[in-house]
Structure 1
């Protein structure tokens, strides 16, 4: 059985709004979410191997993980609570749902983009065939 680390809004029916390891599920019953020695949020399998990581490059002496009321999962330094001090946040990695304060974007300097991608199926959050993103190749248009 495949397992995923996700966030859902409490509604009827429940709506999963973000999945960390959507393309690399845990197999079996065991998984461990922890903060590694280098300050990354890491999901480990039964063997202690990392199957997902926040991959941050900034180091914090006192990192904490917090799920905000907005549905944003954040890794931050325990010394500061301002949004500017987040080391990593799930809102920067959209899956198939656009949440308040989440941004779709294209960074010209880093050639990185944030966009929505469908699930493979209703039960499998792996990356599907459809995406919603900014088209940087089109010409500006106004009516």
Structure 2
């Protein structure tokens, strides 16, 4: 059975996946059938071709050495382990508290502060090509993020 979360000092690498608790969504690495570029994304488990969110759509990996991890400063990062570069980052708020990344049954990937239970970052705030129920469109009046 696949996990729906991981914590700091753990990661997801090529071939590993997170699966939402209800089994609706998966997060992992995939390759576009028309190219050799590699991406980290979310899709419907019953239809892996139905990609609903992509982290690194502007910066694809050229090999299978990617790893999704939580950095020391509390950001969710996608690393290219072949050269040690950060390909994508959540640019979330710094915290020294315990942190986890969880794939929810809604299809929302969240970075959560485990002490306050606060959401530091969520994929629903950064939609790519598919809108899912629960996503909001417009400006967040608290943060100013559009």
1:74 aligns with 2:107: no
Tell whether the 8 Å contact from 2:75 to 2:94 is kept in structure 1 after alignment: no
Tell whether the 8 Å contact from 1:64 to 1:77 is kept in structure 2 after alignment: yes
Bigger relative CO (Cα 8 Å, ≥ 6 apart): 2
Deviation at 1:58, TM superposition (A): 3.5
Deviation at 1:106, TM superposition (A): 3.3
In structure 1, the residue matched to 2:17 is none
Tell whether the 8 Å contact from 2:92 to 2:120 is kept in structure 1 after alignment: yes
- Unmatched tracts of structure 2, length 5 or more: 1-35
User: Are the structure 2 counterparts of residues 92 and 38 from structure 1 closer, same or farther at C-alpha, using a change threshold of 3 Å?
Assistant: same
In structure 2, the residue matched to 1:117 is none
SS of 2:112's equivalent in the other structure is strand
Deviation at 1:77, TM superposition (A): 1.2
1:19 aligns with 2:46: no
In structure 2, the residue matched to 1:95 is 128
How many pairs are equivalent?
110
TM-score normalised per structure 2: 0.68
Alignment of 1:56-135 (within 5 A): 56-81=92-117, 85-106=118-139, 112-113=145-146
Deviation at 1:109, TM superposition (A): 9.2
Q: Where do 4+ consecutive residues of structure 1 move more than 4 Å?
A: 107-112
User: Are the structure 2 counterparts of residues 110 and 72 from structure 1 closer, same or farther at C-alpha, using a change threshold of 3 Å?
Assistant: closer
Deviation at 1:5, TM superposition (A): 0.5
1:52 aligns with 2:88: yes
1:41 aligns with 2:76: yes
Q: CA RMSD in A?
A: 2.1
- Unmatched tracts of structure 1, length 5 or more: 114-143
Q: Which has the larger radius of gyration?
A: 1
The one-character-per-residue Cα deviations of 1:17-56 (angstroms, maximum 9, x if unpaired) are 0000110001112101111000000000021110000001
